[in-house]
A and B are shown apart, each in its own frame.
Chain A
Amino acid sequence: MADSSWLQEAVQATRALGLNYAFVLDAGERQAFARGLWVTLQLCAVTLPLSLLAGVGLASGLNSPRAWLRRPTRVFVELTRNTPTLVQLYCAFLVLNLLINQQLQGRAGNPLTPFAWVVIVVALHKAAFHAEALRAGLQAVPAVTLEAARSLGLSSRQLLLQVELPLALRFALPSLVNNLVDAVKMTAVASAIAVGDVTYESIMIWTQRDNVLELLLLILLYFGLLTWGVSRAGRWLENRLRMPGYGT
């Protein structure tokens, strides 16, 4: 292999620091780790947009004038915010999934894989936080601005789409980005139900070798990189959307 020489050199160099990264010389373990990195990236790529979408849905539920829509949404949001993600994942994967499988017995397989359950649970968990941020953003739109817009003859639809929502989004953006960073970190719970993310693959490797610290450093570095990327993108968007006189 052409690249094995520089890998060997890298392993030697880290060994001088007292770290044992010999696992990268084993093709099987190297591929497993790379697959883990890729699965974590996929989890993030699917979960983040989905959480925003669900967050908008929940926020409109929370702001609905109809009580039969507002109260259940409120219950869902409070229940989600005040219980551990791991327990929610167990409730979904060990209970709901079991019930679905029982209903489907004999027929075509259950389309919801463990990967899908992690995406659903983490996305909905963060959506509850997004919804709260968006609701606070909507409330932060000054009443005078809305009055001014109304006096210009905007319809209530135009008012919502062209004045209220754009401003609310700007107010909520820092919290939304914070929540997305949290969502990236939260995908690590996937390892609890044996989805082969970077944490899970690392556990598989370190039970074979005694290199826990080395792998944990790599995982922390990887998550550091992902969260840094998300917060950079968020800051770029904040700058991009900045309007004179509004927001910080």
Chain B
Amino acid sequence: MAHDTHHPGTGQDAPLWPWLAAAVAALLGLAAWTQFSASPPVALQQLAKWLPTLLLGLGANIGISVLAMALGTVAGLLIGALSLSTLAPVRGATRLYVQVFRNAPVLVLVYFSTYVFPFELQLHHWRLPFPDWIKVVLGLALPASANVAEIFRGAVQSIPSAQWEAAQSLALSRRDIFRLVVLPQCVRRMLPPWMNLYASITMATSLASLVGVHDVVDAAQIASNTVSRTDFTALIYASLLLLFFAYCYPIARATQALEARHARH
């Protein structure tokens, strides 16, 4: 929908960075104002002290999101391919999988994988620990795979059937049509929604803190409870918001740019 660049507020406006800086300044001002004369620099000093912990926590979130997305993409492509099967029972089963895991709240799926899987795995006589963060990866990979399957199915079906017929008349086999004609176009169509999905999975990693994984949200909560100052609490949660924004907003901008480029071609 990015074809009308002259329309006010199409998302093609100048970047938001100056406004964001103003918003941060306002929040800082608010934090200082609530404390009146209590020296604001203390909160800033504490923030500087806690920032490495926060960034380390964000690293855990990014790691979880990358693993969940990788797993979800592999599983999702497989399920998406099965959903195009000519066998009705296979199609029905994939339909059910996609429906269930797309319509379930992500938080419930995270609880599901955390409490239903055992805390260690017994393989023959080895005991493998099964830490909570891997369970969160699995819990997020479930909705990711269902969404990737749907994105894949949508992309394949968006290729006009005339292309299949034209390729058939050139004596290409079904496999070759898929590999040489359909798939290359699908990859291009799938990229923007796949990036959107990655951004939303990254945001969903914040739920890991609710099942006891030490992520950036958990780090912020520990910092807030340890320092126990109103202005610091405001500051640390604002920073939390900003950290996620700094990671997800560029992805969203890139997705928009990609969509706009595809729309023009």
Q: Which A residues contact B (CB, under 8 angstroms)? A: 62-65, 70-75, 78-79, 81-88, 90-91, 94-95, 98-99, 102, 135-136, 139-140, 181, 185-189, 191-192, 199, 203, 206, 212-213, 216, 219-220, 223-224, 227-228
Q: Is the CB of A189 within 8 A of B103?
A: no
Q: What are 9 A-B interface contacts by the 8 Å CB criterion?
A: A70-B8, A82-B252, A84-B207, A98-B233, A99-B34, A102-B34, A203-B111, A216-B111, A223-B108
Residue-wise interface mask of B (75-106) relative to A, using a CB-CB cutoff of 8 A (1 in contact, 0 not):
00000000000000000000000001001111
Known contacts A102-B34, A189-B107, A224-B104; decide if A62 and B9 are in contact (CB<8 Å).
yes
Contact of A75 among B19, B116, B204, B207 (CB under 8 A): B19
From A95, A199, A219, name the one whose CB has the most chain B CB atoms within 10 angstroms: A95
Across the interface, name the chain B residue whose C-beta is closest to A85: B203
Q: Are B240 and A87 in contact (CB under 8 A)?
A: yes
Known: A87-B206, A216-B108, A216-B112. A102 touches B103 (CB 8 A): no
Q: Taking A191-B210, A227-B103 as given, write out 13 further A-B residue pairs in contact, using a Cβ cutoff of 8 Å, ordered by the A residue number.
A: A64-B8, A72-B19, A74-B9, A75-B19, A82-B199, A83-B248, A84-B207, A91-B237, A136-B1, A185-B105, A187-B105, A199-B111, A212-B115
Partner of B16, one of A78, A99, A220: A78
Asked if B224 is at the interface of the complex by the 8 Å CB criterion, the answer is yes
A87 touches B108 (CB 8 A): no
Contact B104 A223 (CB under 8 A): yes
C-alpha spacing A70/B240, complex, angstroms: 25
- Is A83 a contact partner of B112 (Cβ separation < 8 A)? no
Task: Look across to chain A and name the residue whose beta carbon is closest to the beta carbon of B34.
Answer: A99
B residues apposed to A, CB below 8 Å: 1, 4, 7-11, 13, 16, 19-20, 23, 30, 34, 100, 103-108, 111-112, 115-116, 199, 203-207, 209-210, 217, 220-221, 224, 230, 233-234, 237-238, 240-241, 244-245, 248-249, 252
> CB distance B199 to A185 under 8 Å?
no
Q: Is the interface of B mostly helix, strand, loop or mixed?
A: helix
A79 to B237, CA, bound (A): 14
Interface pairs A-B: 9 shortest CB-CB: A188-B105, A84-B206, A84-B203, A185-B105, A212-B115, A82-B248, A136-B1, A62-B9, A188-B107
Candidates A91, A186, A189; contact of B241 at CB < 8 Å: A91
Q: Which chain B positions have C-beta within 8 A of A216?
A: 108, 111-112, 115-116
With contacts A71-B13, A83-B244, A213-B116 taken as known, whether A219 is within 8 angstroms of B249 at the C-beta atoms is no
- Given known pairs A86-B217, A90-B217, A181-B103, the reply for A220 and B108 (CB within 8 Å) is yes
Residues of B within 8 A of A99 (CB): 30, 34, 230, 234
Would A219 and B230 be within 8 Å (CB), given that A82-B244, A87-B217, A90-B217 are in contact?
Answer: no
Residues of B within 8 Å of A81, CB to CB, are 252
8 Å CB contact of A63 from B8, B11, B204: B8
Most buried by A among B105, B204, B248: B105
- Chain B residues with CB under 8 A of A87: 206, 217, 237, 240-241, 244
A120 to chain B, nearest CB (A): 16
Residues of A within 8 A of B9 (CB): 62-64, 70, 73-74, 135
Q: Would A206 and B240 be within 8 Å (CB), given that A74-B16, A188-B105, A216-B108 are in contact?
A: no
CA distance A171 to B100 in the complex (A): 27
Contact A75 B107, CB 8 Å, known A82-B244, A206-B115, A216-B116: no
B245 and A140 within 8 A (CB):
no
Q: Which residue of A lies closest to B202 (CB)?
A: A84
Residues of chain A with a CB closer than 8 A to B16's CB: 74-75, 78
Assuming the contacts A84-B244, A224-B103, asked whether A98 and B111 have C-beta atoms less than 8 A apart, the reply is: no
Q: Are B115 and A82 in contact (CB under 8 A)?
A: no
Q: Which of A86, A95, A199 contacts B206 (CB 8 A)?
A: A86
Contacts of A189 in B (CB 8 A): 107, 207
**Inter-chain contact A78/B249, CB cutoff 8 Å:** yes
A81 to B249, CA, bound (A): 9
Which of A94, A185, A187 meets B237, CB within 8 Å?
Answer: A94
CA distance A20 to B138 in the complex (A): 25
Contact of B103 among A86, A185, A187, A199 (CB under 8 A): A185
A196–B241 CA distance with the chains assembled, in angstroms:
26
